[in-house]
Amino acid sequence: MPRASRRRRRAPGRGLGQSALVGIAATITLVLVGGSLLAIHTQSQGYRSATSSGYVALADQVALASTRTGARLSALMAGAPALANQDLPHTARGTLQQGLDAAVLDTASQAAQARTIASPPPVSDFAPRFTRVMQLRASATAQLRTTVDDLLGMQPLPVAGAPTSPAAAAPATLISSNQAAGEMSAEGQVFEQADTEYRSLRAVAATQSPPLRLQASVWVPPPVATAPLGSVSLGATAPALASSAALVPLHHLVVTAVGLSPPAVPSGGTGMSSTSCADPVSTVSGAVPAVLPPTATVSSLVSVTNCGNVSESNVMVTATLAPSDPPGTAAAPSGGGGGRSQAVVAIASGSSSAPSLAPLPVASGHRYVLTVTVSLPPGQADPRGSSQQFLLQVAG
């Protein structure tokens, strides 16, 4: 009995010892885990700092490019009402459209670059905020181009390499200068908002540890009320654009060259006709025909030039070949009486188009008058150069 009692008294002592051991083990585990977490945090802090610094270096380049785009757009809008027409294709409307198109492309590219460089993301919400600034500038620039185009009846210029259609989309319905003023003022407010958000982003970057130095990028510099891209100035620019004489639409299509296939032989009258935008003239057939070698068909090789400052779509070019034999000459045989060939083209301002016209049937030994005309767009008051004509004879 005494020994059993002693054993019972020792049992609680052993339990306390085991608990102490467990507690010590748990403490050691906590210390080890805590130390590991601290080490991981210390090591990842350097990684996060390096990531953020690298991001800011890339963001700086995007911001600088955006600043340059804003400066060019600011100069364009400030000087747009006073633009003067120069030799084609450097018209006032062309200069304004090219500048707006370039700004839209540049800002869209900068917004895309901002999204691309955000992986891996830097600290906090720095990347999304920077991307938003670039997106605000891109969207407001695109809207500004749309407003100006709707005010003046312009369209974005075709992109090199993009497919074209002779029946291009019709220009949007023109808006009033009052409506344009309201829209342009709202677009200026977005430019101002983007500047405000960018300044806030720079302030946040400067508070990081270590501080992140992001260069300034301003589109609407103080005083905001007179900045060309500010809401006040942009709103006032709309009526100035609408009243600019150089920006008034000018429609003028000219048939600048006509040739024949097969070509005329050296003897006889001319087998070609040409003129220019500077002083366009329309020719009429002369008394001496151009002589073609024996052939069953004649094709018209035509060049039509848009001498105006407005891109034209659905332009109809027509070649008519009508018999014109001297009195007493037997009629041309069936199938050799000429005819009509037509083609539809779209022509940008200052550009030329060579429509593909189907060959027309002719007969040897007979004369024909070839007339090439271009349909006049609504608003073209000057018909000079819109038709060319000459006499031809097919050798027998």
Q: Where are the domains of the chain?
A: 41-156+166-247, 253-394
Distance from C-alpha of 271 to C-alpha of 333, rounded to nearest angstrom: 24
10 Å CB burial of residue 337 (0-12, 13-18, 19+) is middle
> pLDDT category, 371, cuts 50, 70, 90?
very high
Strands 273-274 and 253-261 turn out to be antiparallel
Q: How many CA atoms lie within 13 A of 84 on its CB side?
A: 2
Least confident interval from 84-93, 159-168, 246-255: 159-168
If residue 341 lies in a helix (H) or strand (E), which one and from where to where? strand 339-347
Structure tokens at 370: 């070839």
- pLDDT of amino acid 2: 52
- pLDDT of amino acid 19: 65
Instruction: Please work out, in degrees rounded to the nearest 5, the angle formed at the alpha carbon of residue 383 by the alpha carbons of 92 and 175.
Output: 45
Structure tokens at 112: 């895309």
Residue type at 65 in one-letter notation: A
- Indicate the average pLDDT of the chain: 86
pLDDT in tens, 289-328: 999 999 999 999 999 999 988 888 899 999 999 999 999 9
CATH topology of domain 253-394: Immunoglobulin-like (2.60.40)
What number of other Cβ atoms are within 10 A of residue 172's Cβ? 12
Contact 188, 219 (CB under 8 A): no
- pLDDT of amino acid 374: 98
Question: Which is more confident, 139 or 121?
Answer: 139
pTM over 0.75: no
